[in-house]
Amino acid sequence: RVPFREISLSDTPSAFGAEKNPPVVVYDTSGPYTDPTISIDIRNGLPALRTGWIMERGDVEQLDGPTSEFGHQRLVDPELSEMRFNLHRKPLRAKAGQNVSQMHYARKGIITPEMEFIAIRENQRRENMSELLQTQHPGQDFGANIPKMITPEFVRDEVARGRAIIPLNINHPEIEPMIIGRNFLVKINANIGNSALGSSISEEVEKMVWSTRWGGDTVMDLSTGKNIHETREWIIRNSVPIGTVPIYQALEKVNGKAEDLTWEIFRDTLIEQAEQGVDYFTIHAGVRLAYIPMTAKRMTGIVSRGGSIMAKWCLAHHKESFLYEHFEDICEIMKQYDVSFSLGDGLRPGSIYDANDEAQFAELKTLGELTQIAWKHDVQCMIEGPGHVPMHLIKENMELQLEHCGEAPFYTLGPLTTDIAPGYDHITSGIGAAMIGWYGCAMLCYVTPKEHLGLPDKEDVRVGIITYKIAAHAADLAKGHPGAQIRDNALSKARFEFRWEDQFNLGLDPEKAKEFH
C-alpha cells in the first residue's frame, strides 16, 4: 500500500451552488503512526515492508551478525541488554561482486518495485481531482524537466542519470520508499539527536515520530551523547529514511580528540552504521588541506562541526583528509548496503559576510569531482549546501552546484538570508529555502526558532517543520510542479464558501488555525 492522506471535504452550501466536493489527497510522511487501523509498538518496530523485494533480487547474503568490531562489542555487552532493541534478523550485505544500489539497478534498465511505489506516491492520485482544482499557473522551472505524470520509467531514468536518489539501505526494510531530486516534489529533513547533556532513547524516538507526524521526509540523527549505537537502532526500526554524520560517532570513539581519528576507526563506524540500516551518510570529504587557509579571511571561520573536525585532523597531521584519500574505499562499502552519499559542505559559510567565498566554492568543485567517483561505482549521491546567503546570491549557489556536480540533488540548510534575527531563524532561513527550492534544490534541511540559541523542544520542531513545508510547497508552486496548486485551490474555494472546518483540515497545521479562529 502506498501512503497518502485523504482530506474529506463538506458540501458547498446552497448559497454558493450546492455541490459535492471530492476529497483531496496529499503526500503523507507519517506512515502507520496516523493510521487508526494500526497499533504501534516501538519495541517491535514497524513492518519490514521491503524484505520480499530485497530478497527476491537474489544479490544479498545474510551475515551471521555484525561485522563491525564496535557493533559486535555492543551486541555482546551484557550491560546493554536492557536498552538494546530486540532485532530478530541478521544484517544483510551484497554478495561478493554484487552492487545493490538503486542506481545500479536503474543503470541496468531495471525498474524496481521501489521505483514503482515512488511513481504512485509522487502523483498523489491527482488524476481523480476535478478540472477546477487541477488548474494552476505554469511556473518557472529554471531548466528542470518535470513531466505531467511521474512514471516508474521516469523515476528509473532520473536515478540512473544521478539527478535523483532513493535513500534505501537494504538493512532498513521498514521504509516507505521516497525520492529526492529536483524533478520531484521538494522534500524536507528534520534533525534530531541526543547530546552529552543527555536525553533518553524513548525521547529520541518520540522526536523522530513527532518530526514525521508534521511532515519530515527524512530524519538526520546527529547524536553525540551516550549509547549512540543503541539509540540509532531504535530510531531506524521505527522511521522514515535516516541520515547520520559518521564522523561524529567516530570522534566519540577517540574521546573527542580529532587528531586521534584514523581511517580504520572511521571505516568500522561506516560498516557499523550501514549494517544497522542508515540510509545516507554525510561525508565531509571535500575539506582538503589546501582549502583550510582560505577560511582565515572569514568572519566566522569553519562553522560545520564535521568540517572543523576534518580541518583539525588535516592540520594536526599536515596531510590530506583520510576521507578524501579513501573515498573509493568508502564507495565500495556504500554499494554493498545501498547507502547514499550526502557530500557534506564542511566549508559552508556561517555568516552573510562569508557567503559565496573562495573556500566555499573550492570545496563545491571538489564535491563535484567526488560525485563523479561515486557514480563510477553506481553509488547514489546528493550534495549539501549552505548556510548563510543573502537573497541576491542564492541563485548563484544553485547554478554552480548544477554546473559542478552534474545535476546531483542539492540539499541545503536554509539558507539563512540575514543574520540579525536570533529566535526567528526559521523565518530568515525559510525565505532562502523557498527561493533555492524554486531554483532547483531537491531537499531542504529545516531550521527551528532555537537555531544558534539552544536545543529545540517539540514545539520548536513543529514550527521548524511547518515553516519548511511552507517553503517546499511554495517552491513546488513556483516551479509549476503538476498538481502543486490543488490544495491551494481547494482551500481557497473552502474559504470563499465559509467552510471553516475544511479550511482548517486543508491547512498544514489545522490545530494552529483552530487556535486562532
Cell numbers for 70: 564496535
Please determine, for residue 216, whether its predicted confidence score (pLDDT) is greater than 80. yes
Q: Are 429 and 452 in contact (CB under 8 A)?
A: no
Quote the DSSP letter at residue 394.
H
Domain membership of residue 4 (yes or no) is: no
387 prior amide bond cis, ω within 30 = yes
pLDDT in tens, 123-148: 999 888 878 888 999 999 999 999 99
Please determine, for residue 1, whether its predicted confidence score (pLDDT) is greater than 90. no
Domain membership of residue 395 (yes or no) is: yes
Domain membership of residue 421 (yes or no) is: yes
Lowest mean pLDDT among 29-43, 108-122, 333-347, 501-515: 29-43
Q: Which residue has the higher pLDDT, 132 or 364?
A: 364
Q: Are 502 and 9 in contact (CB under 8 A)?
A: yes
Nearest to 444 by CA among 419, 422, 420, 464: 464
Please determine, for residue 199, whether its predicted confidence score (pLDDT) is greater than 80. no
- Residue where the block lists cell 520509467: 153
For residue 175, give its domain range.
152-479
Residue 134 CA to residue 220 CA, distance in Å, equals: 34
Please determine, for residue 40, whether its predicted confidence score (pLDDT) is greater than 90. no
pLDDT in tens, 155-191: 999 999 999 999 999 999 999 999 999 999 999 999 9
Q: Tell me the mean pLDDT in the region 349-376.
A: 99
Domain membership of residue 349 (yes or no) is: yes
Please determine, for residue 237, whether its predicted confidence score (pLDDT) is greater than 80. yes
Nearest to 83 by CA among 208, 194, 247, 229: 229
Q: Which residue has the higher pLDDT, 454 or 149?
A: 149
- Taking all residues of the chain, what is their mean pLDDT, rounded to a whole number? 95
DSSP 23-54: -EEEE---GGGG-TT----TTT-S--TTHHHH
Domain membership of residue 495 (yes or no) is: no
Q: Are 323 and 285 in contact (CB under 8 A)?
A: yes
Q: What percent of the chain has pLDDT over 90?
A: 86
Q: Tell me the mean pLDDT in the region 437-464.
A: 94
Q: How confident is the model at residue 198 (pLDDT cuts 50, 70, 90)?
A: low
Please determine, for residue 101, whether its predicted confidence score (pLDDT) is greater than 90. yes
Nearest to 297 by CA among 360, 385, 214, 382: 360
DSSP 209-246: HHHHHHT-SEEEE---STTHHHHHHHHHTT-S-EEE-H
Q: How confident is the model at residue 224 (pLDDT cuts 50, 70, 90)?
A: confident
Burial group, residue 319, by CB count within 10 angstroms (0-12, 13-18, 19+): exposed
Q: Helix, strand, or coil here: 66?
A: coil
The pLDDT value given to residue 454: 87
Per the structure, the count of domains in the chain is 1
Q: How confident is the model at residue 455 (pLDDT cuts 50, 70, 90)?
A: confident
Q: How confident is the model at residue 433 (pLDDT cuts 50, 70, 90)?
A: very high
Question: Which helix (H) or strand (E) is 191 found in, with range?
Answer: strand 187-192
| pTM (predicted TM-score) | 0.97
Q: Tell me the mean pLDDT in the region 327-338.
A: 99
Please determine, for residue 197, whether its predicted confidence score (pLDDT) is greater than 70. no
Please determine, for residue 225, whether its predicted confidence score (pLDDT) is greater than 80. no
The pLDDT value given to residue 374: 99
The pLDDT value given to residue 226: 79
The pLDDT value given to residue 196: 62
Domain membership of residue 175 (yes or no) is: yes
Please determine, for residue 41, whether its predicted confidence score (pLDDT) is greater than 90. no
Domain membership of residue 63 (yes or no) is: no
CATH number of the CATH domain containing 454: 3.20.20.540
Burial group, residue 326, by CB count within 10 angstroms (0-12, 13-18, 19+): middle
Q: Are 66 and 265 in contact (CB under 8 A)?
A: no
Domain membership of residue 73 (yes or no) is: no
Cell numbers for 82: 536492557
The pLDDT value given to residue 421: 98
pLDDT in tens, 466-486: 999 999 999 999 999 999 999
